Amino acid sequence: MNGFLKSQLENKTNATTTTTTRYCNNDESCNDENLCTNEMCDPVIGCIYENISCDDDNGCTKDFCDPLTGCFHKRVVCDDNDKCTDNICNPETGTCSFRRRICTDNNDCTMDWCNQLTGECVYQPVLVCEDYNSCTIDVCNEYKGCQFFNRTCDDRCVCTIDTCKNSTGCIHTPISCDDNNDCTIDNCDCKLGCIHKELPVDDFNNCTFDQCSHEEGITHTPISCDDNNDCTTDSCDISIGCIHDQIPDCTINTSSNNSQNNPKDCIGENCINIPFCSIKDKKCLELVEEIKKNQTSQFPPTFSSSSSHSQISKNKEIIIISTLFLGTLTLISKF
């Protein structure tokens, strides 16, 4: 490249004028086919060539002129070799500045940074919002960052006392439904609370009286099947209850109205009774024993002085009675 062409390529400011002695008739006759000059013809002095100005008034470009193509402008490169900076050129001064790139997604739950290798922004979620308290729920709010809310330990069951311990979290302690009553089954329903259900006491035995008391708990007391009738045998069947079987050939004489007479001893179809004989009278009891031994005694009974009557009129039917433990006697005689 000759000096003239080089000066044209580097020209970006003031134009320069060159005069030649080349004879010319008009401007066209002075055409040097150089796009970096303006040609004109002066009849006196000849052709005049003036370099054009390629200045674009932009400090961030370098201005050049190519004789074949004309003006061109090369952008100034501002590079600090840091991909995480924005490189800026001031068009008025042509000076470079380097501004650190701000990576933000306006989300407090991400960690924002610039990748030095690629120059791209990275928005990495915060891994943990942890306050090491088992009684809080740890969350991240994109506008407020980490937040810690008290944990609700309510298990919606009235059968527990709900508390929270920082080291372990929620605790659900069962309540006590014990009513101190051995006759109930105590349990708890989450909706209703404590329930006290009576213990079943039925042993499915009709020969017992089933009950439950606070002091003794469940008891099964045998029932009494005594019908106060010595002419029956009393027993109990667990399926049907008391049974009273009639003793064959046994009847009860109830003709006496004396409250001291006890018409209970029977043999065959006859009951024996001693009218006016006190069951507390020793002599009377001895007489009964004697009659029991002889069975056919023909003499009238005698009574002790303690008896209310010392003799009995003849031609009256005498029937002997004894207390329960003396056994059964038979009809003796008529006097």
pLDDT in tens, 181-203: 889 999 999 999 999 999 999 99
Please check whether residue 176 lies inside any domain of the structure: yes
pLDDT surpassing 60 at residue 321: no
Q: Are residues 255 and 334 in the same domain?
A: yes
Q: Are residues 166 and 116 in the same domain?
A: no
Please check whether residue 257 lies inside any domain of the structure: yes
Phi, psi for residue 148 in degrees, rounded to 5? -130, 115
Give the residue from 148, 149, 143 showing the smallest Cα distance to 109. 143
- Of 209 and 249, the structure prediction assigns the larger pLDDT to 209
Q: Are residues 270 and 318 in the same domain?
A: yes
Confidence of residue 68 (pLDDT cuts 50, 70, 90): very high
Q: Are residues 177 and 205 in the same domain?
A: no
Q: Are residues 271 and 334 in the same domain?
A: yes
Please check whether residue 294 lies inside any domain of the structure: yes
Q: Are residues 268 and 333 in the same domain?
A: yes
pLDDT surpassing 90 at residue 204: yes
* Per-residue model confidence as pLDDT tens digits over 269-318: 344 444 444 444 444 555 555 655 554 443 344 333 333 333 333 333 33
Please check whether residue 94 lies inside any domain of the structure: no
Phi, psi for residue 291 in degrees, rounded to 5? -65, -35
Instruction: Share the mean pLDDT of the chain.
Output: 76
- Of 151, 186, 217, which residue constitutes the final position of a domain? 151
For 322, the domain range is: 248-335
Please check whether residue 303 lies inside any domain of the structure: yes
Round the CA-based radius of gyration of the chain to a whole number and report it: 69
* Structure token pair of residue 130: 């942890």
Q: Which residues fall within 8 angstroms of residue 51, CB to CB, at 6 or more apart? A: 7, 8, 11, 15, 16, 17, 18, 36, 37, 38, 65
Please check whether residue 81 lies inside any domain of the structure: no
Q: Decide: 117 and 83 in contact? Cβ < 8 Å.
A: yes
Give the residue from 52, 51, 44 showing the smallest Cα distance to 22. 44
Q: What is the pLDDT of residue 25?
A: 85
Q: Are residues 20 and 61 in the same domain?
A: yes
Please check whether residue 218 lies inside any domain of the structure: yes
Please check whether residue 93 lies inside any domain of the structure: no
Q: Are residues 116 and 39 in the same domain?
A: no
Burial 276-292 (b: 16+ CB within 10 A, else e): bbbbebebbbebbeebb
Name the domain count of the chain.
Answer: 5
Q: Are residues 323 and 260 in the same domain?
A: yes
Q: Are residues 222 and 263 in the same domain?
A: no
Q: What is the pLDDT of residue 215?
A: 82
- Of 151, 167, 184, which residue constitutes the final position of a domain? 151
One-letter amino acid at 38 equals: N
Q: Are residues 296 and 324 in the same domain?
A: yes
* Per-residue model confidence as pLDDT tens digits over 3-15: 444 444 444 444 5
Q: Are residues 300 and 278 in the same domain?
A: yes
Q: What is the pLDDT of residue 248?
A: 84
Q: Which residues pair with 53 in a beta bridge?
A: none
